[in-house]
Amino acid sequence: MANIVFCFPPIVSTINSSLRLARELKLRGHRITYIGITDCKPLICANGFEFVSIYEEWFPKGCFEGVYLKLQSSDTSNLSETRSHTLRFNEFLDYLIAGGDEELNVAIKKLKPDLILVSTSLSDSVVWALFFHKLKLKVIYVFDVLGGCNHTVPPIHTDLVSDGSLWSSIKTVSVWFIYRIKKIWHEKYRVRNGLDLISPDKLRKISNYCDYSHKDIDFWTDMPGFQLKLPELVLFPRVFDFPSAKKKGRYYAEASIDLNREQPSFPWEKIDDSQPIVYVALGTLSLMAKSDYEKFFHTVIKASTKWPEWNWVLSIGNNLSIDDFKYACSNVIIVNRAPQLELLKKASLMITHGGPNSIKECIFFGVPMIVFPLWFDQPGNVARVIYHGLGLKGNFKTITSKELQALIEEVTTNPKFIERIKAMQRSFMEIEDAKPSIQLVERFISQADIPPFLD
């Protein structure tokens, strides 16, 4: 059996997306270890996996929410703070190519991995992939989003629907051209202001140190970071993507939903089982202003008054206080964290931000959606929801209670939504049982060499 290492960032949704694959591989006798900064440890260990922490001096406990995550965003409102964090991260990169990668080398030599799975969720993923390449290890990218499929479909951060028509193709080419221009301008701005987290020049230095040709690095991906030429395992069924999505070396798998992951407690006694459940959640990352979240949940509560007999469950996140919503009616249950899997088993509708896990889990349990995309891949996710007829889209910033009521009315009374999501649910369940990700991982491990792609 093989030693398999997962290199993932401390993003709850990203780690959650990997858990089922990790469990299935473990059940087949493989040794599974996660490696990363120390903020990953609580969630990974709570789910029963080994964890190796690296570079704690550079990324101490608690740094992710305070510093690390901010560096991945495009928010430059506080230039001095962002510049300081960026400088620190670039000092870390300089430290690595001055021999500081020895700490990583020692950890990897102890683990003796036969394969490393690297998450593409943050911009630093390319750094870890390069240093694993330097050690001549087999590496495969893991995508928990549908980005990175260059030019055959619109960038993942846009809500453009790709329906295969000539006009759609023209718009796709145009939006990619505009994206490239904006990216060039944005990169120049960040370099000029000392805000470049990993500039192309810095990446060339790292790739030279790691003996990897920078010509084989994709600088034009719509993902947070640059990408090496590696096999790609996408934890999404192919059926959910646009039909025109194509990329050599990309392998779609199952939704990989871990039904055994740790779930928070919940006051189930407050639920009336004879009535529908509307579940509302906006993910685990708080990247919008607190006031925006408060306004949105107040709007949901006001909209809920049209259906006082229904169960309304609001998962407001850890940055809001339940006390701020005390005026809500008794049929509105407000918690900081909710057991999403258990709720979706019973829910009739989910109001969501459109994160990949939430989208996949809604489909898996046959729950129509109203999606309010907030950032990054969520506009692209909702474009696919619209294309397949699985729900509707709303505007997070401008939605009113009456507009939300109209969306809820449409989704809950129009039979086409439940029909289409049930059909997609059947497809998801079939491929979930087939477990193609396991076959791909084991096939890659068995390769004698390290090919860029599996044919």
Give the model's pLDDT for residue 109: 96
Give the model's pLDDT for residue 67: 58
Tokens 């990408």 belong to 227
Arithmetic mean of pLDDT over the chain: 92
> Would you state the structure tokens that stand for residue 340, as one six-digit string?
């999403």
Q: Where are the alpha helices (DSSP H) in 247-368?
A: 290-304, 340-344, 356-364
Give the model's pLDDT for residue 193: 81
Query: How crowded is residue 322: how many other Cβ atoms within 10 Å of its Cβ?
Result: 12
Which H or E element spans position 446?
Answer: helix 436-446
Highest mean pLDDT among 59-68, 74-83, 217-226, 405-414: 405-414
Which H or E element spans position 334?
Answer: strand 332-335
Strands 332-335 and 31-36: unpaired
The per-residue b/e assignment along 114-144, b for 16 or more CB within 10 angstroms, e otherwise, is: bbbbbbbbbbbbbbbbbbbbbeebbbbbbbb
CA separation for the pair 415, 168 (Å, rounded): 28
Local confidence band at 74 (pLDDT 50, 70, 90 cut-offs): very low
Average pLDDT estimate for 362-385: 96
Give the model's pLDDT for residue 293: 94
Considering only residues 453 and 301, tell me which one the structure prediction assigns the higher pLDDT: 301
Query: How crowded is residue 98: how many other Cβ atoms within 10 Å of its Cβ?
Result: 9
Give the model's pLDDT for residue 66: 59
Give the model's pLDDT for residue 451: 53
Q: Give the pTM.
A: 0.92
Percent share of the chain, pLDDT over 90 = 77
- For the CA atoms of 143, 205, 217, 188, the dihedral, rounded to the nearest 10 degrees, stands at 90
For residue 36, the SS3 value is strand
Q: Per-domain residue ranges for the chain?
A: 3-254+435-446, 268-431
CATH topology agreement for domains 3-254+435-446 and 268-431: yes
Which of 98, 100, 120, 116 is CA-nearest to residue 108? 116
Local confidence band at 326 (pLDDT 50, 70, 90 cut-offs): confident
User: pLDDT of 253-277, one tens digit each?
Assistant: 999 999 988 899 999 999 999 999 9
> Would you state the structure tokens that stand for residue 380, as one six-digit string?
């692209």
User: Quick check: 218 pLDDT over 70?
Assistant: yes
Which of 276, 296, 282 is CA-nearest to residue 352? 282
User: pLDDT of 53-71, one tens digit each?
Assistant: 999 999 999 887 755 555 5
CA separation for the pair 33, 117 (Å, rounded): 10
Lowest mean pLDDT among 98-102, 366-370, 450-454: 450-454
| Annotation: CATH topology of 3-254+435-446 | Rossmann fold (3.40.50)
Average pLDDT estimate for 98-123: 96
Average pLDDT estimate for 126-140: 96
- For the CA atoms of 383, 384, 390, 394, the dihedral, rounded to the nearest 10 degrees, stands at -20
- List all residues 6 or more positions away from 152 whose beta carbon is below 8 Å from its beta carbon: 172, 244, 245, 246, 247
Give the model's pLDDT for residue 252: 96
Considering only residues 274 and 454, tell me which one the structure prediction assigns the higher pLDDT: 274
User: Quick check: 198 pLDDT over 90?
Assistant: no
Give the model's pLDDT for residue 448: 62
| Annotation: CATH topology of 268-431 | Rossmann fold (3.40.50)
Give the model's pLDDT for residue 108: 97
Do 25 and 32 touch, CB atoms closer than 8 A?
Answer: yes
Give the model's pLDDT for residue 155: 94
Using H for helix, E for strand and C for coil, what is the string for 420-444? HHHHHHHHHHHHHHHCHHHHHHHHH
